[in-house]
Amino acid sequence: MNLLLDTCALLWALHEPEKLSPKARKALVNRANSIHVSAVSFWEISLKASIGKLSLEGVEPEDFPLMVEQEGWQIIDLDAATAGSFHALPRIEGHKDPFDRMLMHLAIREGYHFVSKDAAVGAYRDLGLKLCW
């Protein structure tokens, strides 16, 4: 199974795996699964750290790409086609986070199972989002 981590799932997987659901933890350690992290998550971490909405202890935002590589996970760059087609993902009431919406758009587009603990993303299942909670 191809998994795409949302930004919270990435932070938890690296620093607080107990915050992930048992299903998500099991999926992350299953060697048959391919784990993907979008460059969008690195941007979100960097932005939120710079404005004080995310506190990182003992690590800097620029450390995350190397940490992901050391885990053996794949980094996905944001390509022009995915960025340009983002507008096609309808807005669903109660979910406005542009970072999560871009990650969900990528997951739908590429057929990844989205690893997130955010209950609001469940509304995107009808649009093709596959979830790993």
Distances (CA, A) of 53 to 6, 35, 50, 111: 17, 26, 8, 30
pLDDT in tens, the chain (133 residues): 999 999 999 999 999 999 999 999 999 999 999 999 999 999 999 999 999 999 999 999 999 999 999 999 999 999 999 999 999 999 888 778 899 999 999 999 999 999 998 888 989 999 999 999 7
Cβ neighbours for 24, distance < 8 A, ≥ 6 positions apart: 9, 115, 117, 132, 133
The CATH fold assigned to 2-132 is Rossmann fold (3.40.50)
Cβ neighbours for 9, distance < 8 A, ≥ 6 positions apart: 20, 24, 115, 116, 117
Is the pTM value of this prediction over 0.85? yes
Single-letter amino acid code for the residue at 38: S
